[in-house]
Copies of this chain bind each other. A is one copy, B any other.
Amino acid sequence: MTFATHSTATSEAMTAPHLDFWFDFASTYSYPAAMRIGALARREAVKVRFRPFLLGPIFKMQGWSTSPFNLFPAKGRHMWRDLERTCAELGLKFQRPEPFPQSSVLPARIALVGLGQQWGEDFCRAVYHAEFAEGRRIDNADTMGDILSGLGVDSVAVLAAAQSTAIKDKLRTETAEAQELDIFGAPSFRAADGELFWGNDHLEAALAWAKRAG
């Protein structure tokens, strides 16, 4: 085993391996991924960047008007059962949200505000918890206000910032970037060298890859 000197540690920190975590708040398997990624990434010393985006426009370009889990009922039935098993194994509460999917535009915009400040990742986890553990609607300002207050954030100011042109445009460009990167579902993970992984099941492989890719 070798130990880094102080200067090596500094240069390692500057070039720390990183991974982009692309997710949509309406995406079911993004729930366990969002809840797991922090601790796993710390253990692997990989820096994770949260990248909320909208799957809707990408699905639309594939000719899908809603989630494939609604369009293909057998696939949907399996997903709900599998998600239930996955959450049970991880000790995560689970409630099937109604309706599904919900619009994730508002929480995605708020997340973009928060990720530019210090509370973005906590907000993302709180939204997933509200949606999939408590069965709350995430497409309204009430739930968002509760979550923001819980984080000690000025919800009125944040909700206003989330509806600014700058943030609306940012969510559009993030979604366009996801599409350019060939992202077709969520959660997706992208390493610094462009390697793409899809699905909560592949989080560990993505982190291992990111560690090697830098």
A→B interface (CB under 8 Å)? 62, 72, 74-75, 77-78, 81-82, 85, 182-185, 195-199, 201-202, 205
Closest to A196 in B: B78
- Closest Cβ of chain B to A77, distance in Å, is 6
A71 to B210, CA, bound (A): 30
CB-CB under 8 A from A202, the residues of chain B are 82, 201
A36 to B85, CA, bound (A): 23
Q: Which residue of B lies closest to A75 (CB)?
A: B184
CB-based nearest B residue for A81: B196
Which chain B residue lies CB-closest to A77? Answer: B182
Task: Tell me the nearest residue of chain B to A85, going by C-beta.
Answer: B205
Sample of 4 further A-B pairs with CB below 8 A, known A78-B182, A81-B195, A82-B198: A81-B196, A82-B202, A201-B201, A201-B202
In angstroms, Cα B82 to Cα A75, docked, is: 21
A78 near B184: Cβ-Cβ < 8 Å: yes
**A74:B205 contact, CB within 8 angstroms:** no
User: Bound complex: CA of A163 vs CA of B22, how far in Å?
Assistant: 49
Task: Give the Cβ gap from A109 to chain B, nearest Cβ, in Å.
Answer: 25
Are A185 and B82 closer than 8 Å at their CB atoms?
A: no
- A78 to B205, Cβ gap below 8 A? no
Closest to A184 in B: B74
